[in-house]
Amino acid sequence: QKEVEQNSGPLSVPEGAIASLNCTYSDRGSQSFFWYRQYSGKSPELIMFIYSNGDKEDGRFTAQLNKASQYVSLLIRDSQPSDSATYLCAVGSTLTFGKGTMLLVSP
Amino acid sequence: GAGVSQSPSNKVTEKGKDVELRCDPISGHTALYWYRQSLGQGLEFLIYFQGNSAPDKSGLPSDRFSAERTGGSVSTLTIQRTQQEDSAVYLCASSLGGEDEQFFGPGTRLTVL
């Protein structure tokens, strides 16, 4: 049984701070890792994907992957109130999702 | 370009009825996926189509669930003899295949009374 674990939160950060979201996965053979953002009542929106160990940056977002530790994280710099949403970690080609971490950014 | 589209956006049905949900993937995407999202179970994989290959049906929860993909494009998810526990948001996604990123449609909210 493939599993993806995330802290459900909520994670509360002030505007302008760095938000750090974490995820662990059970299937050591996983090759692809994704972060989706989901606003209430909306479908998941892809914000980052990563395939190789290390860091990948895109604007205010950085994804980090450590396959040895089976760990993937998402950093959001200069957090904005509009970043308040649930962040879903997903792994593999037929995505296995974590339950999501709710992020709250206060003005 | 156009994203993934799904219809209907909402469906209310009575227990025991059959329902059909439709997905139109992004043009050029060869892979199509169905997921469902419910409060208790989170987001779970149902079925995957890749080109002309046999679909991966490993996520279908029972034999009441089936899906087709015609002409390598539009897909229909059919739920027969609906039960209350089938109430969920059914999401379709498409990609270029393999480990490529998947893009989701807006979903169909199914309510079984």
CA distance A101 to A76: 13
CA distance B26 to A38: 20
pLDDT for the residue B1: 58
pLDDT at A38 over 90: yes
Query: Which residues lie closer than 8 Å to A58 by C-beta, 6 or more apart?
Result: A47, A48
Q: Which residues of chain B are modeled with pLDDT < 70?
A: 1
pLDDT for the residue A11: 97
Q: Which helix (H) or strand (E) holds B14?
A: none
CB atoms B43 and A44 under 8 Å:
yes
pLDDT at A90 over 90: yes
Quote the percentage of chain A above a pLDDT of 70: 100
pLDDT for the residue B71: 82
pLDDT for the residue A29: 93
Over residues B87-106, the pLDDT tens digits come to 999 999 999 988 899 999 99
- Residue A49: its chain B contacts at CB < 8 A? 101
**Chain A residues with CB within 8 Å of chain B CB:** 31-32, 34, 36, 42-46, 49, 51, 88, 90, 92-100
pLDDT for the residue A53: 96
pLDDT for the residue B11: 98
Task: Give chain A's mean pLDDT.
Answer: 96
CA distance A97 to chain B (A): 6
